[in-house]
Amino acid sequence: MLRGKQKSSVEADGATTVEPSADFFVVGIGASAGGLEACRLLLQVLEPDRSMALIVIQHLDPTQRSLLAELLASHTGLIVCDATDGMMIEPGHCYVLPPANYLSVGQNMLHLSRPLARHGARLPVDFLLHSLAQAYGARAIGIILSGTGGDGSAGIRDIRARQGYVIAQDPTEAQYDGMPRSAIATGQVDAILPIAAMPAALAARTAIPVATLRTPLIPISCRRFR
């Protein structure tokens, strides 16, 4: 587990600290080509926030060890770590998908599984967002950043069906605009923003009292993104 460049909570040195909410939001961030820089910039402009946890899904070479967690940790005050199976989801943390895995959530835990589809046909962003919608409903947030293809476009439909919130990176800013444009084309994106404007949108969403957010009892189709 890696701590970011500054601590987001306060130790026993007399400084004040903010207790995490029991009903925090969970943000799924999807990216592929150009995603490292986009994720780095997003974490750099986000203040450490105990009202939400972040999960980063970056398309990775399944045969190579990833240094993504280490690279992101140097740009944020969040606690950054590689996801492991059964790890509890905590606010103020950023979890990173390890190579050659799919990542889903359930019962406030992370769950790793091996993809069945061949590399190049996998949809790890959709896989995560589908489970986020099921597990967190209106407390689920999806962010689609730079990348090619359409991964994430099905998953954001599930999030919106359960009254969650979706942001897409402004395609004119994205290094590769395929994923943001595909998401926008679904008509399910709440906000199209440059990365610098995303913290304000997240702050506004997470400031909404959880008790006022109603998750409709609409069954989500059991898509398979294997």
Please report which confidence band the pLDDT of residue 209 belongs to, taking 50, 70 and 90 as the band edges.
confident
| Residue 166, strand partner residues | 142
Residue 60 has pLDDT above 60, yes or no: yes
Residue 48 has pLDDT above 50, yes or no: yes
CA distance 173 to 171: 5
List of residues 6+ apart from 203 with CB closer than 8 A? 49
Candidates 8, 32, 104, 182; catalytic one:
32
- Looking up tokens 């990348």, which residue turns up? 147
- Residue 93 has φ and ψ, to the nearest 5°, of -115, 155
Mean pLDDT (the chain) is: 86
CATH architecture classification, 26-200: 3-Layer(aba) Sandwich (3.40)
For residue 126, what is the enclosing H or E element?
helix 124-136
- Confidence (pLDDT) at 211: 78
- Residue 78 has φ and ψ, to the nearest 5°, of -70, 160
Q: Which of 51-60, 81-90, 109-118 has the lowest mean pLDDT?
A: 109-118
Chain centre to alpha carbon of residue 6: 21
- Confidence (pLDDT) at 187: 97
148 CB-contact burial (10 Å; exposed 0-12 / middle 13-18 / buried 19+): middle
Candidates 151, 153, 177, 182; catalytic one:
151
For residue 28 the two structure tokens come to: 């799924």
End-to-end alpha-carbon separation of the chain, Å? 28
% pLDDT > 90, the chain: 68
Query: Is 49 in a helix, a strand, or coil?
Result: coil
Candidates 59, 75, 93, 130; catalytic one:
59
For residue 168 the two structure tokens come to: 């897409």
Please report which confidence band the pLDDT of residue 88 belongs to, taking 50, 70 and 90 as the band edges.
very high
- Cα-based torsion angle of the residue sequence 140, 110, 176, 47 in order, rounded to the nearest 10 degrees: 60
Q: Dihedral of CA 152/158/159/160: which sign?
A: positive
Please report which confidence band the pLDDT of residue 23 belongs to, taking 50, 70 and 90 as the band edges.
confident
Over the stretch 147-166, which tens digit does the pLDDT of each residue have?
999 999 999 999 999 999 99
- For the question of residue 32 being annotated catalytic, the response is yes
- Confidence (pLDDT) at 178: 97
Residue 30 has pLDDT above 90, yes or no: yes
Please report which confidence band the pLDDT of residue 142 belongs to, taking 50, 70 and 90 as the band edges.
very high
- For the question of residue 85 being annotated catalytic, the response is no
- Confidence (pLDDT) at 2: 65
For residue 196 the two structure tokens come to: 């610098």
Q: pTM of the entire structure?
A: 0.86
CA distance 102 to 181: 23
Q: What is the mean pLDDT of residues 87-91?
A: 96
Domain chopping of the chain, boundaries: 26-200
- For the question of residue 59 being annotated catalytic, the response is yes
CA distance 19 to 51: 9
CA distance 76 to 46: 7
